Amino acid sequence: MNSNLSSEQVDKKKLRKVIAASSVGTLIEWYDFYIFGSLSVVIATKFFPSDNPTAAFLSTLATFAAGFVVRPFGALFFGRLGDLIGRKYTFMVTLLIMGFSTFAIGLIPGYETIGFIAPLLVLILRLLQGLALGGEYGGAATYVAEHSEPGKRGYRTAWIQTTASLGLFISLLVILATKKSMSAEAFANFGWRIPFLISIVMVGISYFIRKNMDESPMFEKAKAAGEIVANPLKESFGKKLNFKFVLLALFGATMGQGVVWYTGQFYALSFLQKVANIEFEQSNYIIAASLAGGTGFFIFFGWLSDKIGRKVVMLTGMLLAICTYRPIYQAMYETADVSLKTEVAGSKVIKTDYFMIPKSVDLKKTVKTEFSYTDGSTLTLEESSLTTIFPGKNPQKPEVKRIVHVGSSSFWFLILLVFIQVLYVTMVYGPIAAFLVEMFPTAIRYTSMSLPYHIGNGIFGGLLPAVATYLAAKASTANEVAVAAGQAIPYDKPYLEGLWYPIIIGGVCFVIGLLYVNGKDKEIND
């Protein structure tokens, strides 16, 4: 370190190292967590064969338990540890657990080799991932906030806030790069393991960066003054004085933030693929471009929250989201709706393919009918049917897939619509780390802020795709029943019904936040 630097400059240099070390580690943890989700289709074929009920049960458990249930438990377990032995050691432990679990998933032999032990091991490792993630975020946010100077805490902690989106982005990039570097068969055989295995290198680097960091100054001070509490869980949740703020953080901030986060980043992708029928690659490009354009705004809104207050930034984002979700999704639907476009005369092309399914007596017939539109969009109706060469066996009912590839102007318009949602995400999520650390005293900060964060995100946010899809499907079924009975359809736009979940949860959270959250930011050493 240059001894000529003023103390202010030294602090800033140290702060940058603190932010970098914390953010890189958290980014890697998010990467590790997301590659499992991004590779879930491959993982399912290798470890969870759908024709085996035990494996299918373990698969459902891995999906639900790790995302929803285990994260808050990780928050409690590691939060307590962080308040007892220190922030630095705890979030190094979470980093190692996450790295080890991710690496180990890449090494497990498939179901065909070791039977049901394989899905069981994957489930255990996935649960460990969830536990580690539950402990990581609170530690990193607390550690950075406790190093930051007053008046810049929102800006400093906003770097941590970028990591969740960047982790998703990098996981997609690594998977795409691995896929491009080998054949589809090689990727299905062993290539899918690479994104898991390389995690150990990233975790190793992050571990050595974090190892050389000092403990949080506020924690050291509290420890030296004998202010460390013996039982942070009892202190946080057993005392009304603290517990009332845990509830306020959950119902007045993280619950709404969680649903806005999941709507803007995950439901948007699911809607593009499953409702608007936009092809897989193009829909991923739309999300990736929107994330790339929006990520910098986490920093901006974190900075802005230092100037005008956390409450006003977060609640404005929440209000805009709940008021505009329906028109935005309506526009997304209409942009991809080919019935609103003009078909190019004589553009219809039909292609038919047949091939034998390997190691079977089944024959697959695929008929692709392609239509082109004047704006450059195309619609492909892919009808696949499976038949058998054995006489007397009935062929299966054909399956029809609609695949829309939107033209250039529609593509950019969709990016804009998703980008607006990502902006809402950055408004509610950018300042939240600073908001949460400012709610609780040093002695119980790690425990108290981690739990509402992971319940808000893991449970209220994590349930969003399942609940929203269920609501939309229920509305479609009700319409079909009404049509069959010759009655008027009850839902004019069934595809928008799923949005009631984020709108209602976000609305309740907005009212609670508006009424009860104190807009005047506090010092964190109180």
Partner 1 sequence: MNAIRQIFGIVWILLGLAAGYFLVFEQSLKLFEKGGMDNIVPAIIYTFILAPLLTGGMCIFGVYALQNEYKRVD
Task: Report angle CA 502, 507, 513 to the nearest 5 degrees.
Answer: 120
Q: Does 515 bind partner 1 (CB under 8 A)?
A: yes
Q: Which is nearer to partner 1, 424 or 460 (CB)?
A: 460
Q: Which is nearer to partner 1, 361 or 504 (CB)?
A: 504
**What is the closest distance, in whole angstroms, from the C-beta atom of residue 256 to partner 1 in the complex?**
14
Q: Does 41 bind partner 1 (CB under 8 A)?
A: no
Q: Does 381 bind partner 1 (CB under 8 A)?
A: no
Q: Does 244 bind partner 1 (CB under 8 A)?
A: yes
**What is the closest distance, in whole angstroms, from the C-beta atom of residue 452 to partner 1 in the complex?**
10
Q: Which is nearer to partner 1, 367 or 508 (CB)?
A: 508
Contacts of residue 428, Cβ cutoff 8 Å, sequence gap at least 6: 256, 257, 260, 261, 314, 317, 318, 321
Give the number of other Cβ atoms within 10 Å of residue 273's Cβ. Answer: 17
Q: Which is nearer to partner 1, 60 or 408 (CB)?
A: 60
Contact 460, 259 (CB under 8 A): yes
In whole angstroms, what is the distance from residue 368 CA to residue 423 CA? 38
Q: Which is nearer to partner 1, 95 or 512 (CB)?
A: 512
In whole angstroms, what is the distance from residue 242 CA to residue 377 CA? 56
Tell me the site size for partner 1, rule CB under 8 A: 25
Contact 476, 457 (CB under 8 A): no
Span interacting with partner 1, options 86-94, 275-283, 314-322, 508-516, rule CB under 8 A: 508-516
Q: Does 250 bind partner 1 (CB under 8 A)?
A: yes
- Which of 455, 468, 499, 509 lies at the binding interface for partner 1 (CB under 8 A)? 455
Tell me the two tokens of residue 114: 């070791």
Q: Does 526 bind partner 1 (CB under 8 A)?
A: no
**Cα distances (angstroms) measured from residue 399 to each of 16, 154, 328, 381, 384:** 55, 51, 30, 10, 5
Q: Does 280 bind partner 1 (CB under 8 A)?
A: no
**Edge-to-edge order in the sheet of strand 399-405:** 349-356, 362-372, 378-388, 399-405
Span interacting with partner 1, options 4-12, 32-40, 112-120, 237-245, rule CB under 8 A: 237-245
Q: Does 397 bind partner 1 (CB under 8 A)?
A: no
In whole angstroms, what is the distance from residue 365 CA to residue 386 CA? 6
Span interacting with partner 1, options 49-57, 256-264, 283-291, 349-357, rule CB under 8 A: 49-57
Contact 325, 499 (CB under 8 A): yes
- Which of 60, 347, 360, 487 lies at the binding interface for partner 1 (CB under 8 A)? 60
In whole angstroms, what is the distance from residue 206 CA to residue 229 CA? 30
Tell me the two tokens of residue 363: 């024959």
- Which of 15, 42, 69, 320 lies at the binding interface for partner 1 (CB under 8 A)? 69
**What is the closest distance, in whole angstroms, from the C-beta atom of residue 243 to partner 1 in the complex?**
8
Q: Does 84 bind partner 1 (CB under 8 A)?
A: no
Q: Does 51 bind partner 1 (CB under 8 A)?
A: no
Binding mask 189-208 for partner 1 (x = CB under 8 A): --------------------
Q: Which is nearer to partner 1, 57 or 412 (CB)?
A: 57
Contact 375, 409 (CB under 8 A): yes
Binding mask 159-188 for partner 1 (x = CB under 8 A): ------------------------------
In whole angstroms, what is the distance from residue 225 CA to residue 492 CA? 64
What does the DSSP assignment read for 404-433? EE--HHHHHHHHHHHHHHHHHHHHHHTTHH
HSE at residue 373, side-chain half, CA atoms within 13 A, is 21
Give the number of other Cβ atoms within 10 Å of residue 368's Cβ. Answer: 16
- Which of 13, 57, 349, 361 lies at the binding interface for partner 1 (CB under 8 A)? 57
Count of all residues that appear for the chain in the document: 526
**What is the closest distance, in whole angstroms, from the C-beta atom of residue 69 to partner 1 in the complex?**
6
- Which of 2, 185, 240, 345 lies at the binding interface for partner 1 (CB under 8 A)? 240
Residues of this chain that interact with partner 1 (CB under 8 A) are 53, 56-57, 60-61, 64, 68-69, 240, 243-244, 247-248, 250-251, 455, 459, 463, 466, 508, 511-512, 515-516, 518
